[in-house]
Amino acid sequence: RKEVEQDPGPFNVPEGATVAFNCTYSNSASQSFFWYRQDCRKEPKLLMSVYSSGNEDGRFTAQLNRASQYISLLIRDSKLSDSATYLCVVNNLGSSASKIIFGSGTRLSIRP
Amino acid sequence: DAGVIQSPRHEVTEMGQEVTLRCKPISGHDYLFWYRQTMMRGLELLIYFNNNVPIDDSGMPEDRFSAKMPNASFSTLKIQPSEPRDSAVYFCASSLRERVTDTQYFGPGTRLTVL
């Protein structure tokens, strides 16, 4: 089992749709979680940190479920500009696990 | 702030040649990370520094790879000798103080092709 697994995608949805991604992680002691987005041939950029209480930023909502060891990202009212690859990140650096693992990414394509 | 700066943006070299990639982190950031991204393996951490000191280099693939950080504003990743399987995009990232798990800011990357 991979340490971090994401929905394989690609997701192809119409503009205005709601889309959700999940990401599972294997290390139950993991503490820090993020969603990054990466546009084609560009660097990853932070989209959101993921907190135990969940967090929302405009059309984006991230949630953490420790019991089931997954994080999720919900995008409401999707825009053409949301088309990108979304990377789930579990950062255990500084702990005994001492790893930062990037998921393989989920490709999202928003069509007009 | 200009963000993380990397150079060169593109590098094409022949097998056996030495390659040096450069990175300037965001001013005031204490952590610097080097990553490699390929289609097959995704994004992998190679090494990271805290206050110019290498903390974890377990991701460095082999002895052909070395990294240095002579001061707070400059780091290099060197491959000697280079091989075709080293072809990838190499990213440098930096993060602020306090916790190594803080948000990382990535540079634009260096696209390396080894022929």
Q: What is the pLDDT of residue A34?
A: 94
pLDDT in tens, B60-74: 988 999 999 999 999
Supply the pLDDT for residue A105.
94
DSSP string, B7-67: E-SEEEE-TT--EEEEEEPPTT--EEEEEEEETTTEEEEEEEEETTEEEE-TT--STTEEE
Residue of B25, B44, B5, B21 whose CA lies nearest to B95: B25
Which pLDDT score, from 0 to 100, does residue B100 have? 67
Q: What is the pLDDT of residue A58?
A: 96
What pLDDT is recorded for position B1? Answer: 63
Q: Which of B5, B33, B43, B48 to mutate to test the interface with A (most CBs of A within 10 A)?
A: B43
- Look at residue B83 and tell me whether its pLDDT is greater than 70: yes
Nearest residue of chain A to residue B45 (CA atoms): A100
Residues, chain A: 112
Q: What is the pLDDT of residues B4-51, one digit of tens each?
A: 999 999 999 999 999 999 999 999 999 999 999 999 899 999 999 999
A102, B43: Cβ pair inside 8 Å?
yes
Query: pLDDT-based confidence at B98, cuts 50/70/90?
Result: low
10-residue mean pLDDT profile of chain A (112 residues): values are 86 96 91 94 94 90 94 96 96 78 94 95
Residue A35 sits at the chain B interface (C-beta within 8 Å): no
Q: B28-50 burial, b for 16+ CB within 10 Å, e for fewer?
A: ebbbbbbbbbeeeebbbbbbbbb
Structure tokens at B69: 């950080």
Give the pLDDT confidence score for residue B101 in this predicted structure.
Answer: 73
Indicate the length of chain B as a whole number.
115
- Which residue shows structure tokens 């798990």? B101
Cα torsion A92, A96, A99, A104: sign: negative
Instruction: Answer yes or no: do B42 and A105 touch at CB < 8 A.
Output: yes
